Amino acid sequence: MSLTIKLTTTPHIINLNLHPKHRTKIPAYSLGVRPKPIYHSNALISILYNNKQPRMSQASASGSVIKSSLIEPDGGVVVDVIVPECERGSKTLEAESLPKVRLARIDVEWVHVISEGWASPLKGFMRENEYLQSLHFNSLRMENGTVVNMSLPIVLAIDDETKENIGSAKDVGLVGPDGDLLAILRSTEIYKHNKEERIARTWGTTAPGLPYVEEFITPAGNWLIGGDLEVLKPIKYNDGLDHFRLSPQQLRKEFDRRQADAVFAFQLRNPVHNGHALLMNDTRRRLLELGYKNPILLLHPLGGFTKADDVPLAVRMEQHSKVLEDGVLDPETTVVAIFPSPMHYAGPTEVQWHAKARINAGANFYIVGRDPAGMGHPTEKRDLYDPDHGKKVLSMAPGLEKLNVLPFRVAAYDTVAKKMAFFDPSRSKDFLFISGTKMRTYARTGENPPDGFMCPGGWEVLVKYYERLQAEEATPAAVSA
């Protein structure tokens, strides 16, 4: 999990990973001003933009031995609760003898997330004290007094009948939707599932139409069961994409193999256009300017539940591959992997989870855009969240002080230069903003977006997907299904 780059001979050892001086978080009382447009909330960035010579540059110029290691995971170690192969048989036998809890599809995604340590230090579904801290404080206090971020309740709901069936048993077996025994949940605690309060505190609204709520909370049971997980074997989806599902441990190994001295994560659930690519490439350039020798991009599409009108994972993965094939992003300095979490569309609450999970995978820089994890209000004609709240909340979130938050510069289509470029407010009329909805409309109608919006290979993937979709929708079988 660490690497040493020998530069020359002097004996100084400098930790390249975190530079407290350069990445100072926004203090609570100093941000009482309107946001500046660009990378405003991070002291690091003012250094980047002012082209000041950073410390470690000087150090490397003067020829130190530079020791680098990846950012420490929350709680100190990446949780891994997958049962070792040698114990699988005995644990499976034991699980068979226990009262059973039948998992919904979403629960399996969370078992996957917990099992690999994305939610470290969480070792299982939340017990009530963890749930309450998550709901009220977006963080957990550890026994040693340190605080880790934990903004989304990661909970398992059960119904009255299952609760009764469990009775006073402390351990239960978790069974997948297909009837496979997946895991044991140990030392369980059952407590009330107050759905209204959970929804209100997580989403900041109880309006009907929130995708995660409608699909998974409203139909769920009135109890939550917390406990420590032992997962009988790694969760696989057999959809041809499992090789992209690298665990935090695997990602850390990969970053170490590539001798990364900075890892910057880009969370997405949409196709990559050239504006995204510009931003990612620009971030790398600036990290190099800051003195990092080998910043690695983690291009990290979300792979769990997404709402019906989002582009499906398999299509997005194909599109991302084209972006790398076409050279828009450099495969040498980019790791593409799937983040197995489901989407909540819970804006400022969820973006903390997205960032925190990437710390556990080794990322010490996190790029955050406009309205992260946001969506339209389900019943009113407006954004559900203030588009600036995501980055503000993320920048102030407890337990994320060690992460460098990089607010997005807005990229748009420059109709003069005929390419995606950082928006220049002094000639705003030259820029064309192409939203996700607009992009999908182009692809759906077969209309081409302006040249330079997306690499042709990537665009073709989208056009073909929408053609297939429309063909399916047009068949009577699909309509009657």
Site residues (CB under 8 A) for a second copy? 25-34, 127-130, 132-133, 136-143, 145, 147, 151, 187, 189, 192, 194, 196-197, 200-201, 203-207, 226, 348-349, 385-386, 389, 392-393, 396-398, 401
User: CB of 72: closest distance to a second copy in angstroms?
Assistant: 18
Shortest separation between residue 123's beta carbon and a second copy, angstroms: 9
- Smallest separation, CB 386 to a second copy (Å): 6
- Would you say 118 and 248 are in contact if contact means Cβ atoms under 8 Å apart? yes
CB 188 within 8 A of CB 168: no
Return contacts of 276-279, CB within 8 angstroms, 24+ apart: 276/411, 277/323, 277/328, 277/329, 277/420, 278/411, 278/420, 278/421, 278/422, 279/367, 279/408, 279/409, 279/411
Phi, psi of 244 (to 5 degrees): -85, -10
Distance CA 388, CA 474 (A): 40
* The token pair that represents 392 in the structure block: 């503000």
DSSP 3-state of 38 = coil
- In one-letter notation, the amino acid at residue 82 is I
Nearest to 401 by CA among 146, 66, 211, 229: 146
Residues paired with 68 in a beta bridge: 3
Burial of 275-312, coded b for 16+ CB within 10 Å and e otherwise, reads: bbbbbbbebbebbebbbbbbbbbbbbbbbbbbeeebbe
Separation of alpha carbons 217 and 199, rounded Å: 8
Tell me the closest approach of the beta carbon of residue 188 to a second copy, in angstroms. Answer: 9
Element (H, E) at 48: helix 43-50
Q: Considering beta carbons, is residue 1 or 147 the nearer one to a second copy? A: 147
Listed in sequence order, the DSSP H helices in 267-397 are 274-289, 313-325, 347-360, 389-396
User: Does residue 158 sit in helix, strand or coil?
Assistant: strand
Q: Select 341 or 352, whichever has its Cβ closest to a second copy.
A: 352
- Asked whether 174 and 184 are in contact (CB, 8 A), the reply is yes
Residue 381 CB, nearest distance to a second copy (Å)? 14
Nearer to a second copy, 145 or 240 (CB): 145
Q: Smallest distance from the beta carbon of 428 to a second copy, in angstroms?
A: 22
CB of residue 143 vs a second copy: minimum separation in angstroms? 4
- Least separation in angstroms between CB 289 and a second copy: 28
Of the two residues 140 and 158, which places its CB atom closer to a second copy in the complex? 140
- Give min distance, CB of 418 to a second copy, in A: 36
Q: Which ranges constitute the DSSP H helices of 294-370?
A: 313-325, 347-360
Per DSSP bridges, beta strands 262-268 and 365-368 are parallel
Q: Which is nearer to a second copy, 187 or 470 (CB)?
A: 187
Q: Would you say 294 or 349 has its CB closer to a second copy?
A: 349
CA distance 55 to 63: 12
Instruction: For the CB of residue 458, give the shortest distance to a second copy in the complex, in Å.
Output: 36
Q: Kindly tell me which of 293 and 389 has the beta carbon lying closer to a second copy.
A: 389
Of the two residues 105 and 192, which places its CB atom closer to a second copy in the complex? Answer: 192
Q: Count of residues for the chain? A: 481
Cβ-based neighbour number of residue 409 at 10 Å: 18
Give least dist CB 208 to a second copy, A: 12
H/E stretch holding 406: strand 404-407
Nearer to a second copy, 199 or 328 (CB): 199
Q: Which is nearer to a second copy, 72 or 189 (CB)?
A: 189
CB nearer a second copy, residue 17 or residue 205: 205
CA Rg value for the chain:
23
